[in-house]
Amino acid sequence: MSLAKKLTSFDTKLPFLINANNPSNAYDELKQFVFNTWGANLDEYHPNIFIVRPEHERISVDQIRALKNFLNQTSTQDFKLAVIYEIDKINIYGANACLKLLEEASLDTKIFLISSNPYKLPITVRSRCCKIRHLSSEIKEEAIYKKIILGLQENKILGIIEPLDLKSDWINFSTNCQGILNRIIQYQLDTLKNINNDEVNLFDKCKANIDTLIKLFEEIKLLSDHATRHELDRRAIALLILGMIHEHFSN
């Protein structure tokens, strides 16, 4: 799932803390999201946008103070955007100043924090944010989709479950489960392209017909959407979803 879809899936006024395996790619996706949403370019001067980047491999308290001064200024439009790139490189004094900034940010301000290691940040800073885990598409495909495929194929459902405490993790997991069902339907219709050996080995074991698979897809989508909107035990629902899929495959 793209970063833009993850950002728009949250109805929150909190700052976003983006945990990215590749901060540069995450910044590029954020830049596109900002342009599509507000028509502004992060890489060009804009009176309502402020970017903080490490200087000499560190983010200082003076940089955070400059950001705070910017946020306290009257906006020329109905939005203000702030991005702190690689915030895990902030020093302790900057982190303390950042905490106060996050607490006092106005509702018309959007703050995006990008980090490859957010656990370096004080928990007080992390707790003030809406946390999103964002992996590049190649890694997500390998780490989640392939793990589900192999787990179903080897009858090891319990080994598939990823930590699902973040909403973005749950969305990645449930989207990939639905994606597998969609590809099985295409496989049975003989319209699927670019299929790999692991998929063939699993899809050939499917006992369900297309009508059953479509119904299963709709049930799982409804269940996934319900778990996304409400505070439920997502690990338990993940096991339920995997069990619903697995029962339609022969050993």
Structural domain containing residue 121: 3-134
Q: Are residues 186 and 213 in the same domain?
A: yes
Task: With beta carbons less than 8 A apart as the criterion, state whether 10 and 229 touch.
Answer: no
The model's confidence at residue 139, banded by pLDDT at 50, 70 and 90, is very low
Q: Name the DSSP letter for residue 167.
A: H
pLDDT higher than threshold 70 for residue 163? no
What is the rounded average pLDDT for all residues in the chain?
A: 87
Residue 62: predicted pLDDT: 96
Give the pLDDT confidence score for residue 142 in this predicted structure.
60
pLDDT in tens, 63-80: 999 999 999 887 777 789
Residue 27 lies in a domain: yes
Query: Is residue 251 in a domain?
Result: no
End of a domain among 134, 159, 181? 134
Choice among 53-57, 189-193, 213-217 with the minimum mean pLDDT: 189-193
The CATH number for 64's domain is: 3.40.50.300
Tens of pLDDT, residues 7-40: 988 878 899 999 887 888 899 999 999 998 999 8
157/182 same-domain check: yes
pLDDT score of 73:
86
Instruction: Decide which of 134, 158, 185 is a domain's last residue.
Output: 134
Q: How many angstroms separate the CA atoms of 20 and 34, rounded? A: 17
Regarding whether 120 and 9 lie in a shared domain, the answer is yes
Query: Using 50, 70 and 90 to split pLDDT, how confident is the model at 165?
Result: low
Quick one: which H or E segment has residue 71?
A: helix 61-72
Q: Based on the domain organization, do 122 and 142 belong to the same domain?
A: no
**120 & 181 share domain:** no
Q: How many CB atoms lie within 10 A of CB 7?
A: 22
Kindly state whether residues 54 and 93 are assigned to the same domain: yes
How many domains does the chain divide into?
2
- One-letter amino acid of 52: V
- The verdict on 91 and 55 lying in the same domain is yes
Among the candidates 84, 116, 134, a domain finishes at 134
Same domain, 191 and 226: yes
Q: Give the number of other Cβ atoms within 10 Å of residue 28's Cβ.
A: 14
Q: Looking at the chain, which runs of residues are DSSP E strands?
A: 16-20, 49-52, 80-85, 109-115, 130-134
Find the range with the poorest average confidence among 62-66, 146-150, 179-183, 227-231: 227-231
Q: Residue range 161-175: average pLDDT?
A: 74
- For residue 108, is pLDDT > 90? no
Q: State what percent of residues in the chain have pLDDT above 90.
A: 44
Distances (CA, A) of 56 to 7, 53, 112, 114, 131: 30, 10, 21, 18, 27
Measured between alpha carbons, how far is 108 from 15 in angstroms, rounded to an integer? 11
Residue-level pLDDT at 27: 93
